[in-house]
Amino acid sequence: MGAKLRVYKRRIRSVTATKKITKAMEMIAASRVVKAQRQVAASTPYASELTRAVTAVATGSNTQHPLTTEVEKPSRAALLLITSDRGLAGGYSSNVIKAAEQLTERLKAEGKEVDAYIVGRKGVSYYSFRERKVVESWTGFTDNPTYADAKAIAAPLIDAVQQDTAEGGVDELHIVTTEFISMMTQTAIDDRLLPLSLDKAAEESAEASKGEILPLFDFEPSAEDVLDALLPRYVESRIYNALLQAAASKHAATRRAMKSATDNAEDLIKSLSRLANAARQAEITQEISEIVGGASALADATAGSD
List the Cα angle 131/136/140 in 5-degree steps. Answer: 100
Q: Is the pLDDT of residue 271 over 80?
A: yes
Confidence (pLDDT) at 212: 56
Which of 232, 247, 106, 208 has its CA nearest to residue 159?
232
Confidence (pLDDT) at 199: 55
Mean pLDDT over residues 283-306, rounded? 73
Domain borders along the chain are: 24-258
Question: How far apart are the C-alpha atoms of 53 and 201, rounded to whole Å?
Answer: 10
Q: Contact at 8 Å (CB) between 126 and 144? A: no
Mean pLDDT over residues 61-89, rounded? 81
157-191 confidence digits (pLDDT tens): 988 888 887 788 888 999 999 999 888 888 999 98
94-138 confidence digits (pLDDT tens): 999 999 999 999 999 988 999 999 999 999 999 999 999 999 999
Q: Is the pLDDT of residue 288 over 70?
A: yes
Q: What is the DSSP string of the chain?
A: -HHHHHHHHHHHHHHHHHHHHHHHHHHHHHHHHHHHHHHHHHHHHHHHHHHHHHHHHHHT-----TTTPPPSS--EEEEEEE--S---STTHHHHHHHHHHHHHHHHHHTT-EEEEEEESHHHHHHHHHTT---SEEE-S-TTS--HHHHHHHHHHHHHHHHS-GGGT--SEEEEEEEEE-SSS-EEEEEEEEES--HHHHHHHHHHHTTTSPPPP---SS-HHHHHHHHHHHHHHHHHHHHHHHHHHHHHHHHHHHHHHHHHHHHHHHHHHHHHHHHHHHHHHHHHHHHHHHHHHHHHHHHHHH-
Query: In terms of pTM, does the model score above 0.85?
Result: no
| Per-residue confidence band for 232, with pLDDT thresholds at 50, 70 and 90 | confident
Q: Contact at 8 Å (CB) between 161 and 78? A: yes
Exposed/middle/buried for 103, CB within 10 Å: 0-12, 13-18, 19+? buried
Question: How far apart are the C-alpha atoms of 95 and 134, rounded to whole Å?
Answer: 19
| Per-residue confidence band for 69, with pLDDT thresholds at 50, 70 and 90 | confident
Which of 106, 107, 47, 43 has its CA nearest to residue 78?
107
Which of 173, 56, 46, 37 has its CA nearest to residue 103?
173
Q: Is the pLDDT of residue 198 over 70?
A: no
Q: What dotted CATH number matches 24-258?
A: 3.40.1380.10
